[in-house]
């Protein structure tokens, strides 16, 4: 079963989500939500999905990336869960285009820290520390923003906001 991904305008995307405890993550209900979020993310397809994006105001996100690109410092990232994350940003900022499953059909250039450290709980409620750089760091920042009621359009370079459709991009350049 796939979950419905809510779109911009739904109030759940603009409110800070509720933190989770290890006891919360041990429940069958949360474990089922994680599995449904994984299936929904893969079907979309996406590289991350935060619980608020499926209408659930909890500090929970699933992440998985199978892509690779030297230009984006992008390497495969195995499936994992972050809950109740604390984010520390590195000093260097880089810009890349981002899209979002909750802002379907658009993208924009977004400045973000090149490297981050995230302290969170994993799917079992165990503490984890993630040090990430490049595209993985960008995914983490994007998903953690969702948990705080922030969308990439709040951080984007507004003049770069455009349709992600190739046809429209080609027309705009012509």
CATH of the domain at 26: 3.90.45.10
Mean pLDDT by 10 residues, the chain (174 residues): 97 98 98 98 98 98 96 95 98 97 97 98 98 98 98 97 66 40
What pLDDT is stored for residue 162 in this prediction? 95
Is 94 inside a domain boundary? Answer: yes
What pLDDT is stored for residue 171 in this prediction? 36
Is 45 inside a domain boundary? Answer: yes
Is 4 inside a domain boundary? Answer: no
- Chain mean position to CA 84: 14
Cβ neighbours of 41 (radius 10 Å):
25
- Chain mean position to CA 21: 20
What pLDDT is stored for residue 174 in this prediction? 44
Helix (H) or strand (E) holding 63: strand 60-65
Is 95 inside a domain boundary? Answer: yes
Based on the structure, what is the number of domains in the chain? 1
What pLDDT is stored for residue 47 in this prediction? 98
Is 2 inside a domain boundary? Answer: no
Give the predicted TM-score (pTM) of the model.
Answer: 0.93
Is 3 inside a domain boundary? Answer: no
Is 6 inside a domain boundary? Answer: no
Q: Which domain holds residue 47?
A: 11-173
Active-site amino acid positions: 143
User: How far apart (Å, rounded) are the C-alpha atoms in residues 153 and 132?
Assistant: 23
What pLDDT is stored for residue 165 in this prediction? 72
């Amino acid at each position: 079963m796939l979950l419905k991904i809510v779109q911009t305008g739904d109030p759940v995307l603009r409110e800070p989500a509720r933190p989770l405890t290890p006891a919360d993550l041990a429940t069958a209900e949360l474990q089922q939500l994680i599995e449904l979020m994984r299936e929904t993310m893969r079907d979309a397809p996406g590289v991350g999905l935060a619980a608020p994006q499926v209408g659930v105001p909890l500090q929970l996100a699933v992440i998985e990336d199978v892509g690779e690109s030297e230009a984006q410092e992008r390497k495969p990232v195995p499936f994992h869960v972050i809950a109740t994350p604390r984010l520390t940003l590195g000093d260097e900022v880089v810009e890349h285009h981002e899209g979002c499953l909750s802002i379907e059909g658009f993208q924009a250039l977004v400045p973000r820290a090149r490297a981050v450290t995230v302290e969170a709980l994993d799917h079992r409620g165990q503490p984890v520390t993630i040090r990430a750089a490049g595209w993985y760091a960008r995914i983490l920042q994007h998903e953690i923003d969702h948990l705080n009621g922030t969308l990439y359009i709040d951080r984007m370079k507004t003049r770069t906001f455009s349709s992600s459709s190739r046809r429209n991009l080609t027309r705009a350049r012509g």
